[in-house]
Amino acid sequence: MAALLGSLVLGLLLLVGWPLAPADAAMDYAKQVLIGADFHDSDLNGVTFNLTNLREANLSGSDLRGASLFGAKLQDANLRGADLRQATLDSAVLEGTDLRDAVLEDAFAFNTKFDQVAIDGADFTNVPLRADVLKKLCASATGTNPVTGRVTRDTLDCPE
């Protein structure tokens, strides 16, 4: 009887797909309030943080490749050393955000707000930026990215 019951439960679980959901399915944190959340050194590849409040969150050293942070609030967040390659940062608010040593190669950030961000060693290769934002970032761009070996000013195409 116990074996039959076990088989029925297993069959039901297989039928509904639990717990066999894809292990690599990206998490969705859209529209959540995650103020001060600690995601440092996490695998957040492809995760969705659209319109999420990540004020003062710690995302340092995290793998955010392909993540979507559309409209995210990242004021005073720590993204130091984060891998943001091919991430979507459009319409995100970065004020007082730490982007030191982050890799943003091929990220989309055209309408992103960058105010008083720390970008020493950040790599902005192939990141489309508005002219006013580029001017602001070039004013404080220094350092070389430890992962890519690229000079921050060069990745922004800052004038000499």
In this structure, what CATH number is given to the domain that contains residue 116?
A: 2.160.20.80
Nearest CA to 29 among 76, 70, 58, 84? 70
Q: What is the mean pLDDT of residues 68-90?
A: 98
- Is residue 24's pLDDT more than 50? no
Query: The tokens of 135 are what?
Result: 């001017």
Residue 88 has, within 13 A of its CA and on its CB side, a CA count of 13
Considering the domain boundaries, does residue 87 fall inside one? yes
Token output for 157: 């195409």
Q: Is residue 12 part of a domain?
A: no
Q: Is residue 63 part of a domain?
A: yes
Range of the domain at 127: 36-160
Asked if residue 29 belongs to a domain, the reply is no
Residue 41 in contact with residue 82, Cβ under 8 Å?
Answer: no
CB 136 within 8 A of CB 116: no
Decide: pTM greater than 0.75.
Answer: yes
Query: Is 64 within the bounds of a domain?
Result: yes
In a domain, 30, yes or no: no
Residues 69, 43: Cα–Cα separation, whole Å: 15
The overall average pLDDT reported for the chain is 88
| pLDDT category of residue 26 using cuts at 50, 70 and 90 | confident
Residue pLDDT, tens place only, 139-160 = 999 999 999 999 999 999 999 8
Higher pLDDT, 22 or 86: 86
Number of domains in the chain: 1
Residue 106 domain-assigned?
yes
Has residue 13 been placed in a domain?
Answer: no
